[in-house]
Structure 1
């Protein structure tokens, strides 16, 4: 056993041209797409990968500690009889739910619980496996350096048969199966006869495909009926008749691994440049330079860059369910993943500022479960211990007890309000817990034609300011007031327009109830309306805006105090996006206001405004920073004001909105988030400091925390993070943002309708 393992390891080293001397000693900073899966494999070489799409599990064959499995959060050793073997190859049979492992001592199979040796005549090192699901046949490359015996065998579930033929004396490094034409391809070489090439097997005999291609690894594209061969000089493709060099930037590279993404028609290749690096004084060879992973769109090659750019990629596997590429590294850098989430239709979108301080009580004024509306309460537990949570719903008829739950440490849970109070047009929520946590609320319209979201309020107040509002051009604006007290609250509304303030309605809200106000009942036909809510008892106030016959909508909590400085992390003027800054002056004197925009390229000066007392003004960001995908805003004033930001896209079919924040912080919490089918989640971080900020994201899921990207954000600039690049296919994701300098964090979500 020991000698076979040694022979395998020796062959891998020779083939890689002394690669271990070329690998960087420390991991590079992860890029925007590559993320280290971490866990128990971080210090091991990964020779093989296989993805089980039935159970959404990734399997990794290691250099010396058997096979491990990854559920998207943690790595677990499958143990058993292969735990001490090198695993150069893996193949998954989805029909019978069986994983096959080509080891340094034959082929073993795993049923999810135990490993069993398939036995037979393949008691040697298995460099490659390929599964034919049409005929339920497993093919294996058997190589025994000690006896100088090589060949391809097939397994029908009971016995192994040598299919030999013209390849019996060849060393074979890779197999690929073409299910469309029932052909098996094998890369073969015979050092003694100096013959190389790729052969194909039709079930009866082997035939040389010609062309003189010396492949190291193979991958088949069944969509276009193309075979790809990773060679010592780039990647070649075979159309069934001739071989063609794909060329590009990796023409001189050695290609140890390939994987094909049929969803996006992309080929991925692990690359290594043997001509790079310093000279080895003993061999006279260059030590080589690992080149990470490149992708091919059928025309050109592009370096994926990121955290694997200096690693030797010994194996690749693609998860088509969640659009994730996995890369197994050599040299002890574990498994990394590269997420390529497909964008949604962006039928709806919503956005919210984060919170800096968890609390034991949260209030969410808005909510509706009638007329096709959905309301969801999202609770994030950022503590290292469990939290007991209870919800209470407040309706016009009074309070209704909601669900209770135990949230494990660093997790997130979602509550459907309609499970308790279905068919109710006005529902507010109170979230109470025995530990400080964070609560948000998301709402969707009929068929999810639109979506809105807002953080909760952890404190009640006698005064609330709502900067955004419009009652013209098909827009509706509604003010939503929640009375969480055990006694009535006398509430009055005042509206602020460019012409000055207008008195609104005054009502008495019963204890633990909610009331909705249509702003157009008092100030119809007005493009710019802000609202002041005053109460004799502390209450909660929010505002919802709808337009285009309620095909679009956005919503936000109010603020309790005007301030002289506001930060708005989100904003975009690229593509069809519009961004508008809404400034409300509730004071009795003119407010002198200045805007500053922060982009990925740095700071840009914005306009100056003079706001009359008790008025509101709107600023179009695109007037000074057009065609910019990432724009944050800073609002400063000599008098205390309130600032919000609204974003629209696709001809104002949809939009989202959020209040600003007055104080940057080193820690932010964002309770809502989803990367499941039909959802996108983006975290937006604004650095308003004169020096760069180091930022770390951590995602909290029902399974526990997942380490996210680390980035350095330039001074007075903004950075956007796609949550799906780290935790794809997760329906409940909260985010924690930490930084060495005070920053601002928001979260934007987009998705498909139903």
Structure 2
């Protein structure tokens, strides 16, 4: 769990490209910042954030020319004044031109896009009537994020130059439409107005415009209501330090690399926002010295009133095929499919939606090299109001995840996330499940086959009790089981074991009221029990409860050793017994010595088990929960398709 949260996320659409937008409200919690075993905080600073400043016109294109003022000249002068101001704030600045030269509109877009800039601001001054006056700033049509940037810049400029406030407007200007990043275009004053033209001749006035632009960009980037992303890494090796490389890939196809070390028997937290601010991104994590690790990603948000968090383990390899059992654009849900292209070539991808009524809908897209793509499922014709499963098919290997957000779903709001699985299977296992007061548990089954699936679902209860049911799932469709409604399963802890006549895909979603915390979680099932499980995340400090869930689907009672690995390298061990055909719950907060800790978990046992972790958090006005299936082995590589620091 991160040491502090900065929240808020909204989704917006710009020119057919999905982005995540953010807005206000920060909460700094009274908790220690995440530290490594050596006691060093995760790296901070935003020095690699690249701003592209575009002085409009230039060279053969003078722009407006009135009252002895050429627009191209004042635009360039304002930009040159803004550049050192923005750099002094800790950002890099890229200029589309630094001299009086001709630069086409497409060249300006290419400069920003090819460099992977986070922000694009085009500087202009206006022309119309001699009586026209004031300042106006533009964003592209329906761009919530662009409007936010334009609003910040506009407010800061107007505050300084004190001309008529003409407001923030939408327009289809070429440079707003064809840049990949958040963009705005500011019109400082009217050259056709003699009084304002006189002001534009004054260096002090131009300096004020430059200061307003710089301050507006900084306000936008430092708006405390951003989406927070954390990567949690566990090194289970008792002797060797893991030398880790993290490659971040954004929507524009640009890659940034970071290097860290994770000491033996410890856990390490990276706050991604600190080094990769204000972007949608995927991540590829690799061990440079051959020491395998465990990696998870946690995200915390406020999305259009949906407050909460989600957490998922990474996947260890890309694939040309992915399956996601859960998905809905009905019942107040927004579903997003996130696709990472970790390869160096463009990639053709088909996303197939298998609706619960048996109808299939295909969506096709092309991904840039080293990029990530976000698909808002509500934008796909035929999937606007449906329950569905998803199959992702790519020409070259990719990584796929799904994020879902919901508002007022039976009084609950929040979001959850799950990675895809590369292939269906006949057996699936879920350790977590609860149908007591305030909890609803659903099992989701995707049948991607051309024939019916006959599915046996075993529900394993504490103490060794079990009940079974047979479910029929139609070809190329998905089925939802509301476990709470099944006879004898109305108020209990429950694990699930699934056996199907043909390969299927299984997930579990839960919606809950946990002591007033109302949100939801979702997790992919495991295809087999194991004698070894790892969970990178864990937190028991004030406002956070962590549970370890153990399922024993076998016929023999299982003893397990549960080890909690702390940031300083200390290890806390406990033993637990899980009867045959049953499920066991450990509330880590109640384990002696674990009442206020951040940790990773390792579970070892002689009889194979299935292990998950659930966490619930309540910090001020931000509260929710998330869940993750354990992973059965460390790996040298981990991939995450989802990620946002906006």
**TM-score (normalizing by structure 2):** 0.58
Residue among 535, 556, 579 paired with 1:691: 556
- Give me the whole-angstrom Cα distance separating, in 1, the residues matched to 2:373 and 2:264: 35
**Number of the residue aligned with 1:442:** 298
3-state secondary structure, aligned to 2:292: strand
Q: Is the 8 A contact 1:687 1:716 kept in 2?
A: yes
- Give me the whole-angstrom Cα distance separating, in 1, the residues matched to 2:499 and 2:443: 12
Q: Which residues of 2 match residues 191-210 of structure 1 at below 5 A?
A: none
- Give me the whole-angstrom Cα distance separating, in 2, the residues matched to 1:588 and 1:445: 39
Q: Which has the larger radius of gyration?
A: 1
Q: Is the 8 A contact 2:249 2:255 kept in 1?
A: yes
The answer to whether 1:634 aligns with 2:497 is yes
Q: Which residues of 2 match residues 202-351 of structure 1 at below 5 A?
A: none
- Give me the whole-angstrom Cα distance separating, in 2, the residues matched to 1:667 and 1:456: 17
Q: Which residues of 2 match residues 702-713 of structure 1 at below 5 A?
A: 702-713=567-578
**TM-score (normalizing by structure 1):** 0.50
Q: Is the 8 A contact 1:685 1:746 kept in 2?
A: yes
Can you list the C-alpha shifts for 1:650-707, whole angstroms capped at 9, x where unaligned? 2994100000011110000001111122211111010011010011100111111423
3-state secondary structure, aligned to 1:689: coil
- Give me the whole-angstrom Cα distance separating, in 2, the residues matched to 1:722 and 1:742: 21
- Give me the whole-angstrom Cα distance separating, in 1, the residues matched to 2:485 and 2:539: 33
Post-superposition offset of 1:568? 0.6
Q: Is the 8 A contact 1:463 1:560 kept in 2?
A: yes
**Number of the residue aligned with 2:506:** 643
- Give me the whole-angstrom Cα distance separating, in 2, the residues matched to 1:743 and 1:562: 21
Q: Which residues of 2 match residues 386-397 of structure 1 at below 5 A?
A: 386-397=241-252
Q: Is the 8 A contact 1:472 1:524 kept in 2?
A: no
Residue among 546, 571, 581 paired with 2:405: 546
- In structure 2, the CA distance between the partners of 1:496 and 1:663, relative to structure 1 (3 Å rule), is same
- In structure 2, the CA distance between the partners of 1:446 and 1:526, relative to structure 1 (3 Å rule), is closer
The answer to whether 1:416 aligns with 2:271 is yes
Post-superposition offset of 1:400? 3.5
3-state secondary structure, aligned to 1:398: coil
Residue among 260, 273, 284 paired with 1:405: 260
Residue among 373, 381, 391 paired with 1:532: 391
Can you list the C-alpha shifts for 1:617-672, whole angstroms capped at 9, x where unaligned? 00011123434342100111000000000011129941000000111100000011
Post-superposition offset of 1:372? 2.2
- Give me the whole-angstrom Cα distance separating, in 1, the residues matched to 2:384 and 2:432: 28
Residue among 270, 275, 281 paired with 1:427: 281
3-state secondary structure, aligned to 1:404: strand
The answer to whether 1:381 aligns with 2:235 is yes
**Number of the residue aligned with 1:251:** none
- Give me the whole-angstrom Cα distance separating, in 2, the residues matched to 1:551 and 1:463: 31
Q: Is the 8 A contact 1:666 1:743 kept in 2?
A: yes
Q: Is the 8 A contact 1:554 1:655 kept in 2?
A: yes
Post-superposition offset of 1:602? 1.9
- Give me the whole-angstrom Cα distance separating, in 1, the residues matched to 2:252 and 2:543: 36
**Number of the residue aligned with 2:343:** 485
3-state secondary structure, aligned to 1:449: strand
Residue among 458, 468, 483 paired with 1:621: 483
**Number of the residue aligned with 2:449:** 587
Post-superposition offset of 1:608? 1.4
**Number of the residue aligned with 1:609:** 471
Residue among 322, 326, 331 paired with 1:468: 326
Can you list the C-alpha shifts for 1:478-529, whole angstroms capped at 9, x where unaligned? 1000011111111110001122242232111111110011112224454521
Post-superposition offset of 1:730? 4.5
- Give me the whole-angstrom Cα distance separating, in 2, the residues matched to 1:682 and 1:402: 34
- Give me the whole-angstrom Cα distance separating, in 2, the residues matched to 1:399 and 1:414: 24
- In structure 2, the CA distance between the partners of 1:525 and 1:515, relative to structure 1 (3 Å rule), is closer
**Number of the residue aligned with 2:53:** none
- Give me the whole-angstrom Cα distance separating, in 1, the residues matched to 2:490 and 2:455: 24
Q: Which has the higher contact order (CA 8 A, sep 6+)?
A: 2
3-state secondary structure, aligned to 2:273: helix
- In structure 2, the CA distance between the partners of 1:679 and 1:403, relative to structure 1 (3 Å rule), is farther
Post-superposition offset of 1:403? 3.1
RMSD of aligned Cα (Å)? 2.3
- Give me the whole-angstrom Cα distance separating, in 1, the residues matched to 2:335 and 2:466: 32
**Number of the residue aligned with 2:379:** 521
Q: Is the 8 A contact 2:530 2:609 kept in 1?
A: yes
3-state secondary structure, aligned to 1:580: strand
- Give me the whole-angstrom Cα distance separating, in 2, the residues matched to 1:725 and 1:544: 31
- Give me the whole-angstrom Cα distance separating, in 1, the residues matched to 2:618 and 2:494: 24
Higher strand share: 1
Post-superposition offset of 1:541? 0.3
Q: Is the 8 A contact 2:356 2:386 kept in 1?
A: no
**Number of the residue aligned with 1:715:** 580
Post-superposition offset of 1:370? 9.5
**Number of the residue aligned with 1:91:** none
Post-superposition offset of 1:402? 4.1
Q: Is the 8 A contact 2:377 2:384 kept in 1?
A: no
- Give me the whole-angstrom Cα distance separating, in 2, the residues matched to 1:566 and 1:484: 28
- Give me the whole-angstrom Cα distance separating, in 1, the residues matched to 2:553 and 2:563: 21
- In structure 2, the CA distance between the partners of 1:461 and 1:730, relative to structure 1 (3 Å rule), is farther
3-state secondary structure, aligned to 1:443: strand
- Give me the whole-angstrom Cα distance separating, in 2, the residues matched to 1:405 and 1:527: 43
**Number of the residue aligned with 1:22:** none
**Number of the residue aligned with 1:751:** 617
3-state secondary structure, aligned to 1:622: helix
Q: Is the 8 A contact 2:249 2:282 kept in 1?
A: yes
- In structure 2, the CA distance between the partners of 1:732 and 1:488, relative to structure 1 (3 Å rule), is farther
Q: Is the 8 A contact 2:353 2:383 kept in 1?
A: no
Can you list the C-alpha shifts for 1:450-475, whole angstroms capped at 9, x where unaligned? 11111100011000000001111211
- Give me the whole-angstrom Cα distance separating, in 1, the residues matched to 2:434 and 2:284: 33
